[in-house]
């Protein structure tokens, strides 16, 4: 029998994916409820057009989801390349730190768009970007 224990990096990748899905479900379920209760037509939400006024929390969940969709591929590529090349030891030590930063950023994104929260969110993103840059350099043997 083979040991099927996930490395921290692969576990973090699955968690990041689950977070992205959870954020989507948060705002989509609200919208589906409106459609099924005939309070809004199914086409009330079009891209880049203000056609329906969602509550602020729904909009923030949507934006946090989109932010995850933008950043998940970057993390996924690094982790999957590390796994494919036998270099998970490079990304494993900081994988859960990265995930914690991502969870914090998404949480802050959902909580508020006040200037202090936007500043905090930006710094959380910068920390993630720094980790990604470190991993890229380390995986390419440039450190």
Count of all residues that appear for the chain in the document:
143
CATH topology of domain 8-139: 1.20.120
Indicate yes or no: pTM above 0.85: yes
CA dist 78 and 122 (Å) reads: 21
Rg of the chain over Cα atoms, rounded to whole angstroms, equals 18
More confident residue, 13 or 46: 13
Domain boundaries, the chain: 8-139
CA separation, residue 106 to residues 7, 63, 97, 126 (Å): 23, 9, 14, 13
For residue 123, with 0-12 CB atoms within 10 Å meaning exposed, 13-18 middle and 19 or more buried, which class applies? middle
**pLDDT surpassing 60 at residue 1:** no
Confidence (pLDDT) at 42:
83
128 and 101 Cβ atoms separated by less than 8 Å:
yes
Q: How confident is the model at residue 53 (pLDDT cuts 50, 70, 90)?
A: confident
Q: What is the mean pLDDT of residues 20-35?
A: 93
Residue range 65-103, pLDDT digits in tens = 999 999 999 999 999 999 999 999 999 999 999 999 999
């Amino acid at each position: 029998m083979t040991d099927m224990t996930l490395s921290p990096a692969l576990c973090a990748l699955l968690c990041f994916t689950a977070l992205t899905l959870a954020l989507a479900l948060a705002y989509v379920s609200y919208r589906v409820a409106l459609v099924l209760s005939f309070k809004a037509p199914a086409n009330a939400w079009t891209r880049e057009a203000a056609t329906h006024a969602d509550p602020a929390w729904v909009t923030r969940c949507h934006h946090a989801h989109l932010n995850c969709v933008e950043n998940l591929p970057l993390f996924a590529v690094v982790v999957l390349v590390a796994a494919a090349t036998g270099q998970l030891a490079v990304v494993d030590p900081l994988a859960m730190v990265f995930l914690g930063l991502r969870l914090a950023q998404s949480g802050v994104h959902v909580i508020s768009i006040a200037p202090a929260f936007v500043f905090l969110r930006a710094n959380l993103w910068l920390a993630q970007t720094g980790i990604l840059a470190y991993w890229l350099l380390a995986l390419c043997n440039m450190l």
